A and B are shown apart, each in its own frame.
Chain A
Amino acid sequence: DAGVIQSPRHEVTEMGQEVTLRCKPISGHNSLFWYRQTMMRGLELLIYFNNNVPIDDSGMPEDRFSAKMPNASFSTLKIQPSEPRDSAVYFCASSFLRGVNTEAFFGQGTRLTVV
């Protein structure tokens, strides 16, 4: 397996524009996590899906953020409208939940810059 795949790797956009980040989890994994990493706040869990269903979205900072998982092999995180303070590295991770979650694997991240 190629691991967790995120795209794009880098995104530069202007304030007010819509941004969509994409994630393909490891085949067979049924848990998917979206994180945001900044120097000030470290790794923050934004949203957690299990079997394509959002289980906990309490970390989503504002209504400008939304996430979907239409099937087991694809998820998106959308920011609309984007703001400079959204600039960060966004990571996607997946694991397999059977009673408890097993080892989590991370993608390489998307570095978002909003100017």
Chain B
Amino acid sequence: KQEVTQIPAALSVPEGENLVLNCSFTDSAIYNLQWFRQDPGKGLTSLLLIQSSQREQTSGRLNASLDKSSGRSTLYIAASQPGDSATYLCAEFSGGYNKLIFGAGTRLAVHP
């Protein structure tokens, strides 16, 4: 059964800190992994997609890595800002049907 776990569940940091969000998955036959951001009461915004043949992707202050052998992905946020406050979710495309399965998310608060 596909399972995705995100640690920590919540994180509060002062502005300017570099931080790492963790995602682990049980299905080694992962295809792609995608990171999303969700603001309160809003939909999900795609941040980064890492294809199974890739090890990392970067967009601005965000860097996501994928290690299939250990079943882990990390999202690195550099120089955090209050506007980064949101819930961050990782999701894997895996299994024979390419289903997209989500973790429970990490709720991030960046305070000035």
Can you identify 26 A-B contacts, CB atoms within 8 angstroms? A33-B99, A42-B104, A42-B105, A45-B101, A48-B99, A50-B97, A55-B97, A56-B97, A56-B99, A91-B44, A93-B44, A93-B100, A97-B98, A100-B93, A101-B31, A101-B32, A101-B100, A103-B49, A104-B34, A104-B46, A104-B93, A104-B100, A106-B36, A106-B43, A106-B44, A106-B46
Instruction: From B42, B52, B100, B104, name the one whose CB has the most chain A CB atoms within 10 angstroms.
Output: B100
Give the complex CA separation of A56 and B52 in angstroms: 22
Q: A107 at the A/B interface (Cβ < 8 Å)? A: yes
Q: Report chain B residues within 8 Å CB of A27.
A: none
By the criterion CB–CB under 8 Å, are B98 and A31 in contact? Answer: yes
Partner of A101, one of B45, B46, B98, B103: B98
Picked from A43, A100, A103, A109, the residue with its CB within 8 Å of the CB of B98 is A100
Q: Tell me the chain B residues, 65-109 only, with Cβ under 8 Å from chain A.
A: 89, 91, 93, 97-105
Contact-size category for A: 20 to 34
* Interface positions of A (Cβ within 8 A of B): 31, 33, 35, 42-43, 45, 48, 50, 55-56, 91, 93, 95, 97, 100-109
Encode B32-52 as 1/0 by CB contact (under 8 A) with A: 101010000011111001011
Find out whether the CB atom of B32 lies under 8 angstroms from the CB atom of A102. yes
Given A42-B102, A91-B44, A109-B43, are A104 and B97 also a contact pair (CB < 8 Å)?
A: no
In the complex, the answer to whether A100 meets B102 with C-beta atoms within 8 Å is no
Interface residues of B in 10-50 (CB under 8 A from A): 31-32, 34, 36, 42-46, 49
A106 to B38, CA, bound (A): 11
